[in-house]
Amino acid sequence: MELYPVRTRIVRANDDLVNVILESLSAHGLQLQDNDVLVLASKIVSYSQGRLAKLTDIRPSKKGREFADKYSLNAEFAELILKEADEICGGVEKAVLTLKNGILTANAGIDNKNSPPEYAVLWPAKPKEYAKAIRDKIHAKTGRCLAVMIVDSGLAPLRIGTIGLTLAVAGFKPIKDARGRKDLYGKTITITRQNVADDLASAAHLLMGEAREKTPIVLVRDAPLDFDDNAYGSEDMRMPARDCIFTKMFSL
């Protein structure tokens, strides 16, 4: 498997993301091949959708101000979290654990890192539909049948630092099911499923970085994936809270 980090110009609100992708690949001397995977940072998707919120336009409610005091947040940012989160699960200073689109994430995916002053970037809208649309548009322009992923930074319980988190895939099956297979000693595997999408997201996340790298695209070639034109979305990666080893103790 080969991974190629792709630097871009700064992506701005309502840019044509397909053009940005193809221009950036060309500038790196990279030509798409069938069964390549394009990993896209969620922020450039959000920018292309105009998913930015101007904090000075937000009027915090009483609940928002109380929420901000509780978690040492800017009141406008706190109000935005309350608006965007599907559920609030708790938190620590400067970070709130939320449920958003069936995913446990900090601050409902909202980030003011790598956003213009006084703005925050929201998670992409309808990420699975957008990933499919990007895949279809690139196929129409290049004739190549590839896969597309939208990823963000995620967290793992009791671990310091960010890792890759998949928001949506289009063009391959995100889970490899090992249940029923035999291990090295002939024992039947009973519960193990491999999240190959998040594995790939973490590999790409390592190359993208978290600061001024301007590398929001990673081209992945020869990935050991099950490519499927009909596979898109993120539902296959989701687990009910009642079955999750981490959230079993919570009422989510």
> What mean pLDDT value characterizes the chain?
93
Determine contact, residues 52/13, Cβ cutoff 8 Å.
yes
Taking the CA of residue 46 as centre, how many other CA atoms within 13 Å lie in the half-sphere pointing to its CB?
A: 22
Q: What is the pLDDT at residue 232?
A: 75
Percent of all residues in the chain with a pLDDT value above 70, rounded to a whole number: 98
Signed CA dihedral, 134, 137, 141, 145: sign only: positive
pLDDT for 235 equals: 73
| pLDDT 10s digits, 71-87 | 999 999 999 999 999 99
- Give the per-residue pLDDT at 98: 96
Give me the pLDDT at residue 197, please. Answer: 96
236, 173 contact by CB (below 8 A):
yes
Q: Report the CATH superfamily, name and number, of domain 52-123.
A: CofE-like domain (3.90.1660.10)
Q: Is the pLDDT of residue 54 over 80?
A: yes
The mean pLDDT of 171-186, rounded to a whole number, is: 95
Is the domain covering 1-49+126-252 a CATH 3.30.420.40 domain? Answer: no
Q: How confident is the model at residue 250 (pLDDT cuts 50, 70, 90)?
A: low
**Would you state the pLDDT for residue 63?**
96
pTM, entire model? 0.93
pLDDT 10s digits, 207-248: 999 888 899 999 999 999 999 988 876 677 888 888 888 877
Per residue in 126-171, pLDDT tens?
999 999 999 999 999 999 999 999 999 999 999 999 999 999 999 9
Instruction: For residue 220, count other CB atoms closer than 10 A to its CB.
Output: 22
Q: Where are the domains of the chain?
A: 1-49+126-252, 52-123
Q: What is the mean pLDDT of residues 9-29?
A: 94
Residue 252, pLDDT above cutoff 60 = no
Nearest Cα to Cα of residue 74 among 92, 56, 97: 56
Looking at per-residue pLDDT, the higher value among 240 and 101 belongs to 101
What pLDDT does residue 213 have?
A: 86
% of the chain residues with pLDDT over 90: 84
Best CA proximity match to 127, nearest among 45, 237, 199: 45
Same fold, 1-49+126-252 and 52-123: no
